Structure 1
Amino acid sequence: MKNFMDDNFLLQSETAQKLYHEHAKKMPIIDYHCHLIPKMVADDHQFKSLTEIWLGGDHYKWRAMRSNGISENYITGKDTTDWEKFEKWAETVPYTFRNPLYHWTHLELKTAFGIDKILNPKTAREIFDECNEKLSKPEYSARGMMRRYNVEAVCTTDDPIDSLEYHIKTRESGFEVKMLPTWRPDKAMAVENAVEYRSYIEKLSEVSGVNISCFNDMIEALRKRHEFFAQQGCKLSDHGLEEFYAEDYTDAEINSIFNKVYGGTELTNEEVLMFKSAMLVVFGEMDYETGWTQQFHYGAIRNNNSKMFQLLGADTGFDSIGEFNTAKSLSKFLDRLNSRGKLTKTILYNLNPCANEVMATMIGNFQDGTIPGKIQFGSGWWFLDQKDGMERQMNALSLLGLLSRFVGMLTDSRSFLSYPRHEYFRRTLCNLLGRDIENGEIPVCEIERVNQMVEDISYNNAKNFFNF
Structure 2
Amino acid sequence: MSSKTFIHDNFLLQNKYAEELYHTYAKNQPIIDYHNHLPPQEIAEDKIYPNLSKVWINGDHYKWRAMRTLGISEENITGSASDLDKFKSWAKTVPYTMRNPLYHWTHLELARYFDVNELLNENNAEKIFNETAEKLNSPEYSCRNLLRKANIELVCTTEDPIDTLEQHQALKKSDFEIKVSTAFRPDKAIFINNDGYNKYIDSLSKVSKIAINNYVDLCDALRNRIIYFDANGCKLCDHGLDQIYFEEFTESEVNSIFKKKRNNENVSNQEAAKFQSAILIYLAETYHEFGWVQQYHLGALRNNNKRMHSILGPDTGWDSIGDLSQAQKLSSFLNALDSKNKLTKTILYNLNPADNEMMATMIGNFNDGSVKGKVQYGSGWWFLDQKDGMTKQLNALSNMGLISCFIGMLTDSRSFLSFPRHEYFRRVVCNLFGKEIVKGELPNDMEWIGKMVADISYFNAKDYFNF
What TM-score, normalized to structure 1? Answer: 0.98
Q: Which residue of 1 aligns with 2:459?
A: 460
Contact 2:7 2:111 in 1 (8 A): no
Q: Which residue of 2 aligns with 1:139?
A: 140
One-letter amino acid of the counterpart of residue 287, structure 2: D
Q: Per-residue deviation at 1:447? A: 2.1
Q: Per-residue deviation at 1:272? A: 0.3
Q: Which residue of 2 aligns with 1:333?
A: 333
One-letter amino acid of the counterpart of residue 7, structure 1: D
One-letter amino acid of the counterpart of residue 336, structure 1: A
Q: Per-residue deviation at 1:191? A: 0.5
Q: Which residue of 2 aligns with 1:353?
A: 353
How far apart, in 1, do the equivalents of 2:78 and 2:431 lie? 38
Q: Per-residue deviation at 1:227? A: 0.6
Q: Per-residue deviation at 1:265? A: 1.0
One-letter amino acid of the counterpart of residue 458, structure 2: Y
How far apart, in 2, do the equivalents of 1:307 and 1:254 lie? 33
Tell whether 2:241 aligns with 1:241.
Answer: yes
Q: SS of 1:461's equivalent? A: helix
Contact 2:406 2:456 in 1 (8 A): yes
How far apart, in 1, do the equivalents of 2:249 and 2:201 lie? 22
Q: Which residue of 1 aligns with 2:258?
A: 258
Contact 2:48 2:142 in 1 (8 A): yes
How far apart, in 2, do the equivalents of 1:153 and 1:164 lie? 17
Q: Which residue of 1 aligns with 2:174?
A: 173
Q: SS of 1:211's equivalent? A: coil
Contact 2:21 2:446 in 1 (8 A): no
1:414-429 matches, cutoff 5 A = 414-429=414-429
Q: SS of 1:409's equivalent? A: coil
Q: Which residue of 1 aligns with 2:49?
A: 47
Q: Per-residue deviation at 1:281? A: 0.4
Count matched residues: 465
1:360-439 matches, cutoff 5 A = 360-439=360-439
Q: SS of 2:333's equivalent? A: helix
1:80-119 matches, cutoff 5 A = 80-119=81-120
How far apart, in 2, do the equivalents of 1:450 and 1:439 lie? 15
Q: Per-residue deviation at 1:213? A: 1.6
Q: Per-residue deviation at 1:200? A: 1.2
How far apart, in 2, do the equivalents of 1:271 and 1:174 lie? 49
How far apart, in 2, do the equivalents of 1:278 and 1:227 lie? 20
Q: SS of 1:348's equivalent? A: strand
One-letter amino acid of the counterpart of residue 180, structure 1: S
One-letter amino acid of the counterpart of residue 467, structure 1: N
Tell whether 2:26 aligns with 1:27.
Answer: no
Contact 2:10 2:19 in 1 (8 A): yes
One-letter amino acid of the counterpart of residue 310, structure 2: Q
How far apart, in 1, do the equivalents of 2:344 and 2:109 lie? 36
Q: SS of 1:12's equivalent? A: coil
CA offsets, 1:278-304, max 9 Å, x none?
Answer: 111011001100111100001011111
How far apart, in 1, do the equivalents of 2:341 and 2:263 lie? 35
1:200-215 matches, cutoff 5 A = 200-215=200-215
1:232-311 matches, cutoff 5 A = 232-311=232-311
The farther-off stretch of 117-126 and 405-414 is: 117-126
What TM-score, normalized to structure 2? Answer: 0.98
CA offsets, 1:105-139, max 9 Å, x none?
Answer: 00000001011111011211111111000001112
How far apart, in 2, do the equivalents of 1:286 and 1:199 lie? 24
Of all paired residues, the percent bearing the same amino acid is 56
One-letter amino acid of the counterpart of residue 466, structure 1: F
One-letter amino acid of the counterpart of residue 38, structure 2: L
CA RMSD of aligned residues (A): 1.0
Q: Which residue of 2 aligns with 1:449?
A: 448
How far apart, in 2, do the equivalents of 1:402 and 1:213 lie? 47
How far apart, in 1, do the equivalents of 2:339 and 2:398 lie? 28
Contact 2:334 2:343 in 1 (8 A): yes
CA offsets, 1:243-276, max 9 Å, x none?
Answer: 1111111111111111111121120110000011
1:152-167 matches, cutoff 5 A = 152-167=153-168
Q: Per-residue deviation at 1:332? A: 0.3
Q: Per-residue deviation at 1:215? A: 1.1
Q: SS of 1:237's equivalent? A: strand
How far apart, in 1, do the equivalents of 2:312 and 2:360 lie? 37
The farther-off stretch of 1-10 and 161-170 is: 1-10
Q: Per-residue deviation at 1:4? A: 2.0
One-letter amino acid of the counterpart of residue 457, structure 1: I
Q: Which residue of 2 aligns with 1:38?
A: 40
CA offsets, 1:11-43, max 9 Å, x none?
Answer: 001000000011100100000000001110111
Q: SS of 1:181's equivalent? A: strand
One-letter amino acid of the counterpart of residue 218, structure 2: M
How far apart, in 2, do the equivalents of 1:84 and 1:212 lie? 48
How far apart, in 1, do the equivalents of 2:349 and 2:363 lie? 11
CA offsets, 1:396-453, max 9 Å, x none?
Answer: 0000000000000000000000000000000000000111111111111x32111111
How far apart, in 2, do the equivalents of 1:6 and 1:134 lie? 22
How far apart, in 2, do the equivalents of 1:61 and 1:268 lie? 37
Contact 2:191 2:197 in 1 (8 A): yes
How far apart, in 2, do the equivalents of 1:447 and 1:441 lie? 14
Q: Which residue of 1 aligns with 2:324?
A: 324
Tell whether 2:191 aligns with 1:190.
Answer: yes
The farther-off stretch of 435-444 and 405-414 is: 435-444
How far apart, in 1, do the equivalents of 2:121 and 2:27 lie? 29
- Structure 1 segments unaligned to the other structure (5+ residues): none
How far apart, in 1, do the equivalents of 2:31 and 2:203 lie? 35
